[in-house]
Amino acid sequence: MSRFLHTMLRVGDLDRSVKFYTDVLGMKELRRRDVPDGKYTLVFVGYAEENEQAVIELTYNYGVDTYEMGNAYGHIALGVPDIYAAAEKIRAAGGKVTREPGPVKFGTTLIAFVEDPDGYKIELIQR
């Protein structure tokens, strides 16, 4: 059976990104692999071990501190038990809330959006 493993995001400052995903979003650093010959470092973060659920792979390419977003990327979605508390906790930890919690347009699902240090959008959905 196939299973979703991870999503890879290229980041400009690995320490800053790991801090955001662990300290602000509450994920754990699961593993790290530095590849000097390839001039990159990979850090896998998530809420559970990789054999239990999908994770995020943060890829830092030596010497590259910014990337162009393009217009194809949408967002990563995270389920949270209380959208208002989650947004406030993220804001208090220094995270950037770009869409305040509330119902989705033309619906009743409660959502909010936050942005990681590289500008990647993350949707919070109340479950």
Residue 52's CATH number = 3.10.180.10
pTM: 0.90
- Pair 20, 52 in one domain: yes
- Pair 20, 56 in one domain: yes
pLDDT score recorded for residue 85: 97
The mean pLDDT of 30-39, rounded to a whole number, is: 98
- Pair 80, 57 in one domain: no
Q: Which residue range is the domain that position 21 belongs to?
A: 6-61
pLDDT digits (tens, 9 = 90+) for 37-49: 999 999 999 999 9
In-domain check, residue 103: yes
- Pair 10, 57 in one domain: yes
**Pairwise CA distance, residues 67 & 91, whole Å:** 24
Q: Is 2 or 97 the better-scoring residue by pLDDT?
A: 97
Residue positions annotated with a catalytic role: 123
If DSSP codes are grouped into helix, strand and coil, which group holds residue 95? coil
* Residue 111 pLDDT class (50, 70, 90 cuts): very high
In-domain check, residue 31: yes
In-domain check, residue 22: yes
DSSP state, residue 106: T
Number of domains in the chain: 2
pLDDT at 2 over 90: no
The mean pLDDT of 116-123, rounded to a whole number, is: 96
